[in-house]
Structure 1
């Protein structure tokens, strides 16, 4: 009766885990909304209704009529951007960089889907854009509706573009834009005072974006406002925090700030030593802005000032970010939320890229990387098994000591330590190897979550994107039946294989002494099969490879330590006999 009650309890607990886990997976691994499905029903007036007290020239950047993306980009007054890795255009109305496409990254897994549209004009469903401008006192400054004059037709790495505007009051404004071979645009903002009186001018730069198309911020990877302040990367606050606080001021000594998704980043890098004011603010209607405002400068007649800012708008490729960091942007490589184990993660990512460059298939690269890591960790696992074997060898003597001194725990512990010393056994040696492996395997897991290299990479047959869940669903016969399988019931072949391999690894382990533990262990592989089904196919491929290697490792080590296998089989036999006698009683 007790065993039946324990089994029912284990089944109920596993059922609760299955039902509750789907909500957790949806929270931590959501599917980003498709930009075509975003419905924006509020008005521009509602979008800018706020009591922030900000400068109207900067605030007016948010006032835009809602328009279709193609309509916005075909409106004219634009200068093309054509660089090796990005293309798009500059909006001469307001000096906004609001059209950036990433040539090397497709919008969807379909090879004909076109490039990722990272920046888009204000008012469009996926609005995300940067603006460079000026605020001032005692003179007219360019605003959001100012039409700048361009010195050329296209911004390329070889041809910078000058944007010019004259206020006809003695002040001339210029923004010189240049772009490199990756994702960095440099903006030199200059104002010259040719009038007869001093004026006060302050250059600024902003990034404005909607959160409706943002990836979800999770414990694995931050998404939202980000920046380096005071020598430390600040992975927060998130969008909800900014909405609650309205304005979040940046801390001292900003190195860069902006908005991040799992794979993409838009960031402003101020001029070194300029000590600008920075921060994040909510504009309402799911709009947010990162501000970079230089200190006001008083320009006497005949003088000018220049402030140089940079704009990163591109993919979070570790090698590219690290190169910019080496060039002087503090901690820019940490725009990828590596976490505590980055010293393991970055070498693993480097090795994964090297393997991929040789084999040409990211799934095969994951398998080979897992084999290499498990191979490197094998001596540690072998040491753990040796320790387990030694403990098994002296277990009969340990039981005798426990029985002999069951009423005197101090003496019992002393005799145990004496036995360990005589036999040269370390009771914790079996645990330490396992603990040493945890950071390495967690690092491998996180690399597969964060690596943009896995995005849209095929493996074999039906798996066209290793960064997405397994698309084949067993319960609808792989799409043959006309219904969509919901949530964690969407089992694919990789999830089924995971359950089987995990069940086999549990079968090779020594039987649990506690009946409830034994029953839970017998059910857990099939629970995990459902739990892991919504995860990326690349992660399931890693776990399956790891489980298969664990099976091979256990088979080999059991052959080297037969006393462990004999002890495990003996424990199983004793447990089965005890269970059978209890059921008869």
Structure 2
């Protein structure tokens, strides 16, 4: 059984290595983008079919400087509303810094159209058959501030625009203590004719963000929920939308009956348009190749406003950090369908969600993510202890059967069928399950990838300190032989540098050492190839995982130490004392293959 356990462990480790390398080199294909049917393909897309100078044309620098801005000042946000178009195009997150360096700038999220990588939200109305585009407010409409002076919680601001044709438009912005804006658009008809028009909200992004991770396990790009269905379109997918008009605009259009939202998600931040729960709307995501422009838009139903009548509609805009508690509260209390899935939980969502919830709970008690990861490891090992117990008890019993197994091998000789039959008979008599060691090893695979996902994508791990120089558990180990493991005042080689493969940190070294000691609980394989693999495997993993998030390496170290302690204790309790010292010394002895029979006995006759 020793050989079977070693083969199983070898197969597991090699499979894990192959899986990591394969997924790195050949990421899974992204889902095919949704296309329009004949009806939606002919649908006008907010300015696609209008002359220049209307709906969504970019403002000039002169136009921007002529209009004042309305400040945004909340405990968590700062920025301003641009009165040109009444757009939200200037927003920074006060609670988050660009780096862990002291005095680093706060994260800038939304940017005006005159800046590189512009990213903003704007609102407007689409005219019906009886109106022209100049009769409704659009991207370059000059609004007047008529109520409030600074947007803050409990202090909304209101903008006004009169089209001079009998329609007066109002736009009211409100904001809560976190990242949710409420935008109320209203229209009053003081003319003699009935007006038909439809409100919309739009988020525009000029070009793909330069700080995108572009890592296959992370979704960045367009995210939408439409009547309970979560859809993810990367920027590459958006560029492959079917052409929807003569100008080459490409779009995906989905009719939403009751609940949904859509927007752009980054690794840690998101901007999303959210109609009221129960509100039908059309979810449009589009790409304009001529301007390298990505857009998501929520088109609401047409409203009919008769003479002397007024109509209004309120939608929400989330613009900020994807904090677990914050978006979960919006989902539960605000009724926003599947809003918690703004966090990219991945394929193993049934594991990543409870793992993160547990880690968050532990951190709420301890107040340190590093120690919380270690406590989470202890908890996971405690949950898996019944499986581990059966595995290690089975291994201890297999050790006791070694003499009988060797006797069976001698009797069977080269007769493999007889060997298997007698082995199975022995297992049955002694009530030993040779496959009992499989489950704990197999269970570690999804747990490992789930925890990696949690550490990689959740903002709660971003810049989360442990102690000393370990000030960001979502980043690779900052120590290195190059900076004498953090004692010297310069940085370790960048993770993308070749030198980082040589000057590895202290955590990967502890990982290799702990894995090496764990493998010494069993004697070295007699096969020289297996012996070489098992001797080198810890050090290969040490270098291979050196660029992984330090929080994940910390988990693996804790897992190795706890596994070593469990296995050693349980095997001793069941009558087998691992010869740790002997196995360590045996690991340094190179096994030699048995000599052929001819060599042992001289030349054959």
Relative to the length of structure 2, the TM-score reads 0.79
Alignment of 1:146-545 (within 5 A): 146-150=141-145, 151-209=147-205, 210-234=207-231, 236-245=232-241, 246-250=250-254, 252-253=256-257, 255-284=260-289, 286-327=292-333, 328-394=335-401, 396-397=403-404, 404=412, 409=417, 417-475=424-482, 484=493, 486-487=497-498, 488-489=500-501, 490-512=503-525, 514-545=527-558
Indicate the SS of the match to 1:464: coil
Counterpart secondary structure, 1:542: helix
Q: Deviations over 1:388-425 (max 9, x none)?
A: 2233434555566676497684x876665554333222
Classify 1:350/1:105 alpha carbon distance in 2 versus 1 (closer, same or farther; 3 Å). same
Task: Indicate how the Cα distance of structure 1 residues 372 and 520 shifts in structure 2: closer, same or farther if over 3 A, else same.
Answer: same
Counterpart-to-counterpart distance in 1, 2:522 and 2:587: 15
CA distance in 1, matches of 2:238, 2:381: 43
For 1:318 and 1:553, how far apart are their aligned partners in 2? 34
Aligned partners of 1:170, 1:362: CA distance in 2, in Å? Answer: 60
Which whole-Å CA distance do the structure 1 matches of 2:66 and 2:375 have between them? 51
Match of 1:117 among 102, 108, 120: 108
Corresponding position of 1:46: none
CA contact (8 A) 2:528 2:591 kept: no
* TM superposition shift of 1:527: 2.0
Map 1:536-555; keep pairs closer than 5 Å.
Answer: 536-555=549-568
Which SS does the other structure have where 1:565 is aligned?
Answer: coil
Higher relative contact order (CA 8 A, sep 6+): 1
Correspondence for 2:139: 144
Cα pair 1:205 1:268 within 8 Å, conserved: yes
2:272 match: secondary structure: strand
Instruction: Give, in angstroms, the shift of residue 578 of structure 1.
Output: 4.9
Q: Residue 527 of structure 2 contacts residue 591 of structure 2 at CA under 8 Å; is this kept in 1?
A: no
Post-superposition offset of 1:183: 0.8
Distance 1:507 1:61, change over 3 A: farther
Counterpart Cα distance in 2 of 1:109 and 1:25: 30
- Deviations along 1:84-104, one digit per CA (max 9) or x if unpaired, are 322211111101111122222
Task: Name structure 2 gaps, 5 residues minimum.
Answer: 1-9, 29-44, 242-249, 601-605
How many Å apart are 1:52 and its aligned residue?
9.5
Q: Is the 8 A contact 1:207 1:258 kept in 2?
A: yes
Structure 1 unaligned spans of 5+: 1-9, 29-49
The residue number in structure 1 matching 2:247 is none
Q: Cα gap change, 1:357/1:59 in structure 2, threshold over 3 Å: closer, same or farther? A: farther
Pairing partner for 1:557 from 570, 584, 590: 570
Q: Do 1:383 and 1:433's aligned partners in 2 also have CA atoms closer than 8 Å?
A: no
Pair 419,330 (structure 1): closer, same or farther in 2 beyond 3 Å: same
Which residue of 1 is the match for residue 69 of structure 2?
A: 78
Where 1:154 maps in the other structure, the secondary structure is: coil
Q: What's the offset of the Cα at 1:22?
A: 12
Quote how far apart the aligned CAs of 1:181 are: 1.5
Deviations 1:160-215 (A, max 9, x none): 22221110101111122211111111112122222112222111111112422353
1:450 to 1:325, Cα distance in 2 relative to 1, 3 A: same
Q: How many residues matched?
A: 543
The structure whose residues are more often helix, as a share, is 1
Provide the rounded CA distance (Å) in 2 between the counterparts of 1:159 and 1:419: 80
* 1:234-269, Cα deviation, whole Å (9 max, x unpaired): 2x2210111122322336445111111121111111
User: Residues 250 and 354 of structure 1: is their aligned pair in 2 closer, same or farther, counting only changes over 3 Å?
Assistant: same
SS in structure 1 of the partner of residue 222 of structure 2: strand
2: CA distance between counterparts of 1:57 and 1:135? 16
Change (3 A) 1:534 1:64: farther
Length-normalised TM-score, structure 1: 0.81
Aligned pairs (5 A) from 1:565-584: 565=578, 578-579=591-592
Q: For residue 80 of structure 2, give the secondary structure of its aligned residue in structure 1.
A: strand
RMSD of aligned Cα (Å): 3.9
Distance in 2 (alpha carbons) for counterparts of 1:57 and 1:311 = 28
